Amino acid sequence: MKLVSFKQRGKNHIGILTDDGTTVVNLSVASPKLPTDMTEIIAAAPGIFPALGRAAATRKKEARLSASRVKLTAPIPVPRRNVLCVGKNYFEHAHEFDKSGFNSTADASAIPDCPIIFTKAPSSVIGPGDDIPGHLDPTKSVDYEVELAVVIGKGGRKICKKDALKHVFGYTIINDVTARHLQSKHKQWFLGKSIDGFCPMGPWLVTADEVGQVKKLFVESKINGEVRQRAQVKDLIFDIPTLIATLSRSMTLQPGDIIATGTPAGVGIGFKPPKFLKKGDICTLAIDGLGVLENTVA
C-alpha cells in the first residue's frame, strides 16, 4: 500500500495511491472515521490495514482524485521528532568522505566500527516538488545524498536484530541535503544538515509488506539527468536490523520515527573539485518501488 499526504483547498489530507498510480483516494472522504494524521495511522497498524483496504476500494467519486492534479507533501510533513540519520554507511562512500577533506572528526577511520548517528530537525522536511532553499546556506556548499528511509511502526526499546523488521511500518526516500562547509566547520553534522528545507522526503510511504526484500532495492540519484549515485541496499555497512537494534538500546523508538540509512558514493564532495548544487539544479532521486523524489534548488 502506498500512503500519501497532500494538500487540497489549503487543507492537509492523507490518501492512498492506487496500484496503477493514476488515482489518490482521499481517506477523509472515503472513510471519515479514520485518523487524519499519518503518525496516528502508523501507530494503529497493523489493525488499521483492513479499514484502509476498504477505504481504497470506495466507490465514492468525490473521494477519488486524479493523481496528476494532487499536490503531494512529505508523507510525514512534520515529524514529531528529529529524523534519525546514519553517517558513512556504504563502504565506497565512507572512503569517499574520508578522502574529501570534509571529514573533520579527529582520528576518524574510513570504515566506522559502530553506526554513526546524527539527526535532522523536523523543520528541514519538505515534500516532492518543493524547492530546496540552497540560498539559506551562507557557505554555498550544498550537497545531495539519496537515502532509503525506514519508518518505524511498532515502537519499543532494546529491540533485538531478529525482531527488528517486525517494527518497520514502511519505507520512503530522503534527500539528506547538506551544507558541507557548515558540517566541517562545526565538527558535527546537525547544523549543516538541519537548515530549513534540507530534507526532501517522499513521494509516498510504502508499507513494508509491499516492499518485500528491502536488501534487493537499488537507490539512485541524478543531478540534471546525470547519474551520480547508484547502489544496492545490501551494500550497507550496518543493515537495517542493526540500526534499529543500536538505536533502541539507547532510546525508545516510537511510531512514526524516521531512520535515514545512509548514502552511497557519488555525492558532490566526492569529485575534484567538489560539485556543489547551485540554483536551478534538479535533484532526481529514485528507489525501486518507492517512486521518484524530485526537487529543484532555489
The CATH number that applies at residue 270 is 3.90.850.10
Decide if pLDDT at 94 tops 80. no
Decide if pLDDT at 76 tops 60. yes
Same structural domain for residues 150 and 21?
no
Q: How many CB atoms lie within 10 A of CB 147?
A: 28
Decide if pLDDT at 106 tops 60. no
What's the mean pLDDT in 226-231? Answer: 97
Decide if pLDDT at 263 tops 80. yes
State the pLDDT at residue 110: 78
Distance separating alpha carbons of residues 99 and 110, to the nearest angstrom: 8
Same structural domain for residues 151 and 289?
yes
When mean pLDDT is compared over 90-94, 107-111, 187-191, the highest value belongs to 187-191
3-state secondary structure of 207: strand
Last residue of a domain, one of 52, 73, 94: 73
Tell me the residue length of the chain. Answer: 298
* 266-286: pLDDT as tens digits: 999 999 999 999 999 999 999
Decide if pLDDT at 58 tops 70. yes
pTM: 0.95
Same structural domain for residues 101 and 121?
yes
What's the mean pLDDT in 208-222? Answer: 96
Provide the domain limits for residue 229: 83-296
Write the DSSP symbol of residue 203. Answer: E
State the pLDDT at residue 36: 94
* Residue 41, phi-psi category: left (phi > 0), alpha (psi -120 to 50), beta (remainder): alpha
Cα angle 257-187-250, degrees, rounded to a multiple of 5: 35
State the pLDDT at residue 105: 58
Write the DSSP symbol of residue 61. Answer: G
Q: How many CB atoms lie within 10 A of CB 96?
A: 21
What is the domain count for the chain? 2
